[in-house]
A and B are shown apart, each in its own frame.
Chain A
Amino acid sequence: MTTVVIVDDHSIFRSGLRADLADDLEVLGEADSVATALVLLGTVSPDVVLLDVHLPDGTGADVIAGAPGPRYLALSVSDSAEDVVGVIRAGARGYITKGSSGADVSAAVRAVAGGDAVFSPRLAGFVLDAFGAVAGESASSAEELDRLSAREQEVMRLIARGYAYKEVASELFISIKTVETHVSAVLRKLQLSSRHELTAWALERKLL
């Protein structure tokens, strides 16, 4: 059983999401602001926190900073790159839009709970852009944080084209586990890289 906490300031959305989540996910509690979320996360320890990017008294990033224990999956109506990157760099393991179906959200929660990263096509497209992959930049060593390796670029491209992990795996003749490893590596780069495009956004959102 995977345990979940929902942090979102819209009660209708919370109850809708709660009803839509798959049966194997147990909702431990809900919060509607940064303050109540931090109080709640002090008493329960869920596997995954579904986190809205915008909250009335702060941002999703504030919640992550205040309670770094659980894994976070960001949920937002905003699909602007700045919002997404802000919350990912703060530590979220993935990002999906609020338009996603209950099944999609449940699948994403399970993936995040299992330690994987969840990338939407839009986020993948943004990553390709921000790491200069479109312009032909490519990392030469695995330690390099500011560029993507050729394989990571391939995986990101397929995700941007709307392929699920399983489809990416069969397309590239690799195992799903390998796809997940690549995606996690990209997530790590997204969080740790000091590439100008990323830091500029982070600075703008006062994350550094």
Chain B
Amino acid sequence: MRSRVAVVGGVSDGLALHLGWEPRSVRVLFVALSAAGGAGALLYLWLWALVPLQPSDENEPVARSAPVAAIAIAAAGVSTMVVLSIAGADAVLGWLVTVATAASLAVVWELAFDRTDPTRSQRYRLGVRFTAVGLLLIAGVAALLSRPSALAAIVGVGMIVIAVGVLVAPFVVQLWADLMGQRAARVRELQRAEIAAHLHDSVLQTLALIQNRAGASSEVARIARAQERELRDWLFTGDAAVVADLAASLRDIAAQIELDYPARLEVVAAGVAVPANSVLVAAAREAMLNAARHAGGTVSVYLESSEGAIDVFVRDRGPGVDLANLPADRLGIRESIIGRMTRAGGTGTVRRTPTGTEVHLHLEAAS
């Protein structure tokens, strides 16, 4: 396995780990072998290509500590200086090839590896790219201006073409990556739609049936309902970023309460989406909890939010509470609902009807 925190390719680290050696001695061996006709370098590249990368859960990018692109740029720079100083001499062709190779290597490395490497800054990458372009252009023009030999002219033009290519390449690479990403996203979306359609038709039906047959307040029905909720969330909310929206918060609370109490909480929301207000959420939670605990059965939660105000109604069909006769230690309604809302500048009212109790929370929008 090649290490994800590497100097160049992570080959030496991996090999050292495999052989039980020091990474340093493996590196020395590679360098020594490279001196012997480049065998070490070839072996290194061969291992790099064949040894798999260490797997990681989050697919985190590989961090490489050796600035290979910068080294290549430095080599290209030195070669360019040589070209400029001995322009016209016979040796020029070899140096031109060196400039082209080193500069291209730098850019390829930058595009292939540094793009995803968290240790490389944007500035470093732009620096590599533009220096490579500059060196290629200088060397190319120098070759064209030197003694007009056909070969030098061809190489010079070739270098200028490469320079332009280097300028354009990053955009092409980016475009390609985007395209692939989009295609993958589309395939995922399609797959999810298919699964959703299938689950919708079969699993949700079965869960609905279980709830129906088992009776609304039984353990089985509660589990089935919790499952249904989870599945629905996954099916219909999709990948859209989950904003801490008030309606969503109330639904979450309803789902939690349903797990703990034999009640069925139906949350209906109308109006504009508003951010979850912590006071309102806490008070509504208390009201829903009370309804589920003392009344059970079906609890209706209705949220209406306009630009001006937010109203939450929690209605149950239980025997109801009489605020006046409530013992002092039952702080639930008085403190957590009414007191809380009053302190936040809203109102909380509890109303008893012949068929149940309704808590009404009202909050004017802060202006």
- A interface residue numbers (CB < 8 A to B): 9-10, 12-13, 16, 20, 54, 77-78, 80, 97-102, 121-122, 124-126, 128-129, 133-136, 157, 160-164, 167, 170-171
Task: Report whether A121 and B209 are in contact in the complex, using a CB–CB cutoff of 8 Å.
Answer: no
**Alpha-carbon distance A167/B313, docked complex (angstroms):** 15
Residues of chain A lying within 8 A (CB to CB) of residue B270:
125-126, 128-129, 133-134, 160
Residues of A within 8 A of B271 (CB): 128-129, 134-135
Given contacts A80-B236, A101-B216, A124-B268, contact A162 B209 (CB under 8 A): no
The reply to whether A20 and B315 contact each other, CB–CB distance below 8 Å, is: no
Please, could you name 29 A-B residue pairs with CB atoms under 8 Å apart, sorted by A?
A: A9-B201, A10-B209, A12-B205, A12-B209, A13-B209, A16-B209, A77-B204, A77-B208, A80-B236, A99-B208, A101-B212, A102-B212, A121-B300, A122-B266, A125-B270, A125-B302, A126-B270, A128-B304, A134-B272, A135-B272, A135-B306, A135-B307, A136-B306, A160-B304, A161-B300, A162-B266, A162-B298, A162-B299, A170-B354
Evaluate contact between B315 and A162: CB separation under 8 angstroms: yes
Q: Between A and B, how many residue pairs show CB distances below 8 Å?
A: 90
The number of residues on chain B lying at the interface, defined by a beta carbon within 8 Å of a beta carbon of chain A, is 34
Does B183 make an interface contact (CB < 8 A)?
no
Q: Give the chain A neighbours of B307 by CB distance below 8 A.
A: 135
B residues whose Cβ falls under 8 Å from a Cβ of A = 200-202, 204-206, 208-209, 211-213, 216, 225, 236, 266, 268-272, 298-300, 302, 304-307, 313, 315, 353-355, 358
Contacts of A16 in B (CB 8 A): 209, 212-213
Question: Chain B interface mostly helix, strand, loop or mixed?
Answer: mixed
Q: State how many angstroms separate the Cβ of A160 from the closest Cβ of chain B.
A: 5
Determine how close the nearest CB of chain A comes to the CB of B6; give it in whole angstroms: 49
Cα A170 to Cα B315 with chains together (Å): 16
Query: How many angstroms from the CA of A102 to the CA of B209 in the assembled complex?
Result: 11
